[in-house]
């Protein structure tokens, strides 16, 4: 049987700054790797120089996403039509098209429809805190989790017959990495509650311990992931993969491996998988 993997994420750049190494690894092995992206990243901050030749941030970021997808070697992206909600408290939250304002059941239904067509054995999404508590990440975590069971539910009526994927994993950020960064920022006299390009990431809220059931090494695909991240130049993708940050990430033991918590089926404790399909 053809191996198929589906990753369900919220914004252009989530795939490359997050689990891109894992996606590239499976694509390199001949697995059909699909990506659903719920928004076009409209709320991202973009320096005017990057917008030249584009009519909107959405158009620019969609183009950056196609570039990244091509680098990763995965299938063309499946874009949903919601709007980036921005970080909690931003004005983008109020937009009626914002993902966070959509009915969860509706978004889950759209994702379930894709699952029935794509027929992945493995589905990946954010962890319950959405990595760093972005409202869209948390929403997509919930919608993808709901869609996972909806796809196999005969009572859910759609164009395609029911299909039940067998494995659901949540990507989770190594907590030692977060703790180290909080300490380092404090040492440098910086505020760990206002981290990142848009100063909207509170690192101190990210130290939640989730169990790890799979660790996927992508040492061989690390350059592919870096190339995909560079596609997201408007979001600082070039900076993330060179110089000090690169050395730091390596020293911290983010040694080119992604960590996943297994939601379905019930994981067996004490075993850390090296393959999401095993
Ligand atoms: Zn995101």
Q: How far is the CA of 245 from the centre of ligand 1 (A)?
A: 20
Distance from the alpha carbon of residue 270 to the mean position of ligand 1, in angstroms: 31
Residue 155: CB atoms within 10 Å: 6
Q: How close is the Cα of 18 to the center of ligand 1, in Å?
A: 9
* Ligand 1 geometric centre to CA of 50 (Å): 19
Evaluate if residue 181 carries a pLDDT over 80.
no
Residue 246, pLDDT score: 59
Contact predicate 85/135, CB 8 Å = yes
Give pTM, 2 decimals.
0.90
Distance from residue 126's CA to the centre of ligand 1 (Å): 10
Cβ 202 vs Cβ 209: under 8 Å: no
Distance CA 40, CA 231 (A): 15
More confident residue, 34 or 184: 34
Residue-wise pLDDT for 191-229, tens only, equals 888 877 677 778 777 767 788 999 999 999 999 999 999
Ligand 1 center from residue 239 Cα (angstroms)? 17
Exposed/middle/buried for 277, CB within 10 Å: 0-12, 13-18, 19+?
middle
CA–centroid distance, residue 10 to ligand 1 (Å): 5
pLDDT tens digits, 60-77: 999 999 999 999 999 999
CA of 140 from ligand 1 middle (Å) equals 10
Cα of 38 from ligand 1 centre, angstroms: 10
Closest Cα partner for 125 from 228, 246, 258?
Answer: 258
Tell me how far the alpha carbon of residue 195 lies from the centroid of ligand 1, in angstroms.
14
Q: Give pLDDT, residue 201.
A: 76
> What pLDDT was estimated at residue 67?
98
Instruction: Read off the pLDDT of residues 4-30 as tens digits, 9 standing for 90 and up.
Output: 999 999 999 999 999 999 999 999 999
Q: Cβ-count burial of 7 within 10 angstroms (0-12 exposed, 13-18 middle, 19+ buried)?
A: buried
Distance CA 115, CA 124 (A): 12
Distance (angstroms) between ligand 1 centre and the Cα of 4 equals: 23
> How remote is the CA of residue 1 from the centroid of ligand 1, in Å?
32
pLDDT band at 249 (very low <50, low <70, confident <90, very high): low
CA distance 88 to 100: 10
Residues recorded for the chain:
278
Return the structure tokens found at 60.
Answer: 């620019």
Å from CA of 26 to ligand 1 middle:
22
């Amino acid at each position: 049987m053809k191996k198929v993997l589906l990753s369900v994420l919220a914004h252009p750049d989530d795939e490359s700054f997050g689990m891109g190494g894992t996606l590239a690894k499976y694509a390199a092995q001949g697995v059909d790797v699909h990506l659903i992206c719920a928004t076009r990243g409209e709320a991202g901050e973009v320096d005017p120089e990057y917008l030249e030749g584009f009519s909107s941030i959405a158009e620019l970021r969609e183009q950056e996403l196609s570039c990244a997808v091509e680098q990763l070697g995965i299938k063309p992206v499946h874009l949903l039509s919601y709007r980036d909600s921005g970080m909690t408290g931003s004005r983008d939250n109020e937009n009626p098209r914002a993902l966070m304002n959509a009915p969860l059941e509706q978004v889950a239904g759209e994702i379930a429809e894709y699952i029935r067509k794509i027929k992945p054995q493995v589905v990946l999404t954010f962890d319950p805190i959405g990595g760093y508590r972005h409202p869209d990440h948390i929403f997509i975590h919930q919608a993808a989790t709901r869609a996972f069971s909806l796809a196999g539910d005969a009572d859910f009526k759609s164009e395609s017959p029911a299909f039940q994927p067998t494995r659901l994993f949540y990507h989770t950020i190594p907590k030692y990495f977060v703790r180290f960064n909080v300490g380092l920022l404090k040492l440098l006299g910086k505020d760990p509650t206002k981290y990142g390009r848009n100063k909207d990431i509170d690192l101190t809220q990210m130290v939640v311990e989730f169990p790890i059931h799979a660790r996927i090494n992508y040492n061989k695909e690390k350059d592919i992931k870096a190339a995909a991240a560079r596609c997201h130049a408007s979001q600082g993708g070039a900076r993330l993969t060179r110089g000090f940050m690169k050395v730091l990430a390596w020293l911290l033991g983010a040694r080119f491996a992604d960590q996943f918590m297994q939601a379905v089926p019930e994981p067996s404790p004490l075993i850390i998988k090296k393959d999401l399909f095993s």
